[in-house]
Amino acid sequence: MFKKEIYTERRRRLQRQVKTGLILIMGNTDSPMNYPANTFHFRQDSTFLYFFGIDQPNLAAVIDADNDRQILFGDDFTLNDIIWMGPQEPLADKAAKAGITDTAPTRELFTVIANAIKKGQRIHFTPPYRAENKLLIGELLGINPQRLNEYASTELIHACIALRSIKEDVEIAEMEKQMHTAYKMHTMAMQMAHPGISEQQITGAIEGISMAGGGMVSFPVICSVRGETLHNHYHGNILKKGDLLLVDAGSESPMHYATDHTRTTPVGGLFTQQQREIYNIVLNANNTAREAMKPEIPFRDVHLTAATTIAAGLIDIGLMKGNAAEAVTAGAHALFFPHGLGHMLGLDVHDMEDYNDTLVGYDQEITRSTQFGLAALRLGRRLKAGFVVTNEPGIYFIPALIHNWRNERKHDAFINYEKLDKYLNFGGIRLEDDILITDSGSRILGDRIPILPEEVEAEVQKGPVSFSV
């Protein structure tokens, strides 16, 4: 946990924005894998972590803005619990570390909520995403769990987004420390990228590095020689010479702050000329986008800068034609770059997207596009100093999408379809860094993971490293 003053100040600022009513913040419970006593690794709710910091299941809290009261609800451990789990800190002591003096057993949460409803207090809550909390909140409020999102508090959501978007110095320091683990994960993947190694071996190795470095992976690892599938979680392929291995992976710090990086590596340690050409276009887009990131610049504009850089590079090698800016305006580049440039990063790898990704990424000034590719951009609004965002341009050759567009002659004025046959088995390349927006510009968090083609090749050639069981 951070110092208790951090959490006290966060709740004070929240109360200044949500001035009336009762704010209900649910922690997570243990979730069973296949029977109740065999649970998944516990992960606390990020909103609860942000305002209370207590990393323990079966807790809830209310902030009563009308009566200036804050209560933490939970049950102390029984003797039987202690036999299985060892000595446990009393709830009151944990609450004190978060600056909370008022605690109560879980059963009293029902009484507090019922009394608030009787008094006509508005109950604020964010959209629940786990079934256990959906059922509990539904029972507390008398709302069908399937309709809870209709009753979620937009006022509370906007207040949480406003607070959590700007990372405090302690948060930045926590993320910066975890970048060392991310560096080791990705360089290990490069060193293992040799013929005969399986995707699963690499996945297991880098997940182990994450756990050894402080926490679980921040999302399911993408480790695939079929990088044209954007979120490819299949790990059954054996690497072959000439493959490109795309690894998109992140780690959580001990306090659950996320990293998120992608690197694409030539199996065996040497890019082909064709691979190097595409790789350098993506690298140029990554660097150009980072240079464009500054306070008050819309991230949508940064995305379009990366897209234009990609289009220009593809025009140079003959896969696209015409004017790059016009091609991007028309959306022709999205055949090769069908996703957004990046997203917010923090306690969640897609930070705060449990609230609503459009509310997190857009506002009244900048609204979400409906154009293919651009519609997938999770963050469009103006950057602010203290934002942490990802920068992940990519180029992909997706056979089904290419065939579909070619049959429709879609964007025929900008795409040289006859030249794409030589790329149908290419796969994909994505390069991602984590970026802090500063007062005057931006910087990469942590030491930059090897990214220049010659750096990546040199890292592979330190191997082969093999992990077997």
Distance CA 235, CA 225 (A): 9
Fold designation for 4-165: Creatine Amidinohydrolase; Chain A, domain 1 (3.40.350)
**Neighbour order of strands in the sheet with 261-266:** 222-224, 244-249, 261-266
Residues 6 or more apart whose Cβ sits within 8 Å of residue 106: 58, 60, 73, 74, 75
Concatenating the DSSP letter of every residue in 348-368 gives: SSSTTTTT-HHHHH--SSS--
Distance CA 340, CA 335 (A): 13
Distance CA 383, CA 260 (A): 19
pLDDT score of 233: 95
CA dihedral (278, 280, 286, 291) positive or negative: negative
Nearest to 184 by CA among 453, 462, 436, 395: 462
Radius of gyration of the chain (CA): 24
Cα 120 versus chain centre, distance: 37
Distance CA 232, CA 238 (A): 15
Peptide bond into 464 cis (omega under 30): yes
Between β-strands 244-249 and 60-64, what pairing exists: parallel, antiparallel or unpaired?
unpaired
pLDDT score of 468: 59
pLDDT score of 413: 97
Nearest to 297 by CA among 375, 379, 394: 379
Fold designation for 169-460: Creatine Amidinohydrolase (3.90.230)
pLDDT score of 9: 98
Is residue 264 within 8 Å of residue 397, measured between CB atoms?
Answer: no
Q: Where in the chain is the domain with CATH 3.90.230.10?
A: 169-460
Instruction: Report helix, strand or coil for 129.
Output: coil
The one-letter amino acid at 459: E
Q: What is the pTM of this model?
A: 0.96
Distance CA 227, CA 395 (A): 10
Instruction: Report helix, strand or coil for 15.
Output: helix
Burial of 59 (0-12, 13-18, 19+ CB in 10 A): buried
Q: Where in the chain is the domain with CATH 3.40.350.10?
A: 4-165
pLDDT score of 81: 87
Report the number of secondary-structure helices (H) and strands (E) in the chain. Answer: 16, 15
One digit per residue, the tens of pLDDT, for the chain of length 469 reads: 999 999 999 999 999 999 999 999 999 999 999 999 999 999 999 999 999 999 999 999 999 999 999 999 999 988 888 898 899 899 999 999 999 999 999 999 999 999 999 999 999 999 999 999 999 999 999 999 999 999 999 999 999 999 999 999 999 999 999 999 999 999 999 999 999 999 999 999 999 999 999 899 999 999 999 999 999 999 999 999 999 999 999 999 999 999 999 999 999 999 999 999 999 999 999 999 999 999 999 999 999 999 999 999 999 999 999 999 999 999 999 999 999 999 999 999 999 999 999 999 999 999 999 999 999 999 999 999 999 999 999 999 999 999 999 999 999 999 999 999 999 999 999 999 999 999 999 999 999 999 999 999 999 999 887 665 5
Tokens 């490109």 locate to 244
**Residue 130 DSSP code:** S
Nearest to 403 by CA among 388, 389, 386, 420: 420
Q: How many C-beta atoms surround the C-beta of residue 237 within 10 A?
A: 16
